Amino acid sequence: MSPAGRIGRDVLTNYPDADIGADRRHRGLARGNFPCCPARLAMPLRSYPHTLELRHAFTIANFSRTTTPAVMVEFEHEGVTGYGEAAMPPYLGESQASVAAFLARIDPALLANPFLLEDLLPAIDALAPGNTAAKAAVDIALHDWVGKQLGAPWHRIWGLDPAKAPVTSFTIGIDTPEMIRQKTREAAPYKIIKVKLGRGYDEDRAIINAIRDVTDKPITVDANQGWKQRDEALAMIEWVAGRGVVFIEQPMPKECPDDTAWLRERSPLPLIADENVQRLADVVKCRGVFDGINIKLMKCTGLREAHQMILLARALGLKVMLGCMTETSCAITAAAQLAPLVDWADLDGALLITNDLFDGMTLADGKIVLPDEPGIGVRKRGAAQLKVHR
């Protein structure tokens, strides 16, 4: 059986919901043969599903969950392994099966020279629209491999000072006042608290008051598009501004840029785009509407584009926040390599789960500490039982 055929077989074995047959038929690959790939080339990408278990139910304005599906990716070449990750909260529209199907599209010949990141990552991006978390997993794994081959972490390759990495916030989802107070006490080691709002004026105020019952630490607010009317949004922002809030993330629906621009002109606090910015092309659209942007690897296809987004945002005079999904320390530590470039970091995703697979970024008094390990800076834990594609 050809390498591509083995990939297809293992996708269907490990991800029974994956439908790669239609994709193969579309590209004339019904028998599992890559027309441009010699049969002798083995696929250097392996992957396995991993479900992230959250310490608490995570509730935002629109939904609640207790797990996050993820796919772990390994790129092995010349005896060196690079690690990557796709983490997929429901609103991304991806699944473990869709990630497996996307990985099956990748021609092994494309990865023959992994150092050519500026050529091969755009080529992978062009394989199919969307699939940003799947693309991020490959991007992270390739960056990890290249950094290991160069013997340096990516913050050093980019010429960044790790001492400039900021503190990270710790996120508290929407909950009852009693649970908010409990979660706030659990967040004692962290210098900034990020809280999810967007359920309505009374409930949102109760959440802020519950935090203030426990601590006077700075708060950042993420409304997740939950404030629908600009007058009500302004009233809420004016109220929280007097209670130690630093900025507001995505106050209004992404379909309402004019209302958000109106709100920005009147807001006493900076407004940061989240749902309104995913890829590089979205950054310029935020100028005049928001004061800054939140960049997440799972939305922007990985480190290469995240770095480009930061540079463009700076050129446009926008503040930059580096965020995450619930992720293992693999993706979190990869994102942290960019931390010295940003104003704020919200890289707590691995702190919110109980089954991390990696060691990487650490914290010292709430501040991000970048590891000296080469690549993205992670080490795999223990002996996880892996289902792999070979």
- Predicted confidence at residue 204, as pLDDT, reads 95
Tell me which fold the domain 44-151 belongs to: Enolase-like; domain 1 (3.30.390)
- Asked if residues 214 and 181 have their Cβ atoms less than 8 Å apart, the reply is yes
Portions of the chain given CATH number 3.20.20.120: 156-380
| Closest among 348, 350, 361, 336 to 187, alpha carbons compared | 348
What does CATH list as the number for 156-380? 3.20.20.120
Q: What is the pLDDT along the chain (390 residues), one digit of tens a residue?
A: 433 344 344 444 455 454 434 343 333 322 233 333 334 456 799 999 999 999 887 666 556 778 999 999 999 999 999 999 999 988 788 999 999 999 999 999 999 999 999 999 999 999 999 999 999 999 999 999 999 999 999 999 999 999 999 999 999 988 999 999 999 999 999 999 999 999 888 999 999 999 999 999 999 999 999 999 999 999 999 999 999 999 999 999 999 999 999 999 999 999 999 999 999 999 999 999 999 999 999 999 999 999 999 999 999 999 999 999 999 999 999 999 999 999 999 999 898 899 999 999 999 999 999 999 999 999 999 844 333 332
Q: Residues with Cβ < 8 Å from 334, sequence gap 6 or more?
A: 84, 85, 140, 143, 144, 154, 297, 302, 303, 376, 377, 378
* Residue 84: both structure tokens together: 């990557």
How many other C-beta atoms lie within 10 A of the C-beta of residue 25?
10
pTM of the model: 0.86
The ranges of the chain annotated as CATH 3.30.390.10 are 44-151
Whether the Cβ atoms of residue 127 and residue 64 lie closer than 8 Å to each other = no
Contact criterion met (CB below 8 Å) for 102 and 72:
no
Please give the Cα distance from 202 to 111 (Å, whole number): 54
Q: How far apart are CA 80 and CA 306, in angstroms?
A: 25
Q: Would you state the pLDDT for residue 34?
A: 30
Among 49, 133, 125, 121, CA closest to 91: 133
* Residue 27, both tokens: 């590209």
Backbone CA torsion sign across 278, 282, 284, 289: negative
For 386, counting Cβ atoms within 10 Å of its Cβ (0-12 exposed, 13-18 middle, 19+ buried), the class is: middle
The helix-helix angle for 303-315 and 329-336 (nearest 10°) equals 40
Alpha carbon separation from 380 to 114, 186, 201, 280 (Å, rounded) = 21, 27, 44, 31
Spatial distance between the Cα atoms of 111 and 208, rounded to a whole number of angstroms: 49
Q: What is the identity of the amino acid at 110?
A: L
What is d(CA 309, CA 251) in angstroms, rounded to the nearest whole number?
A: 21
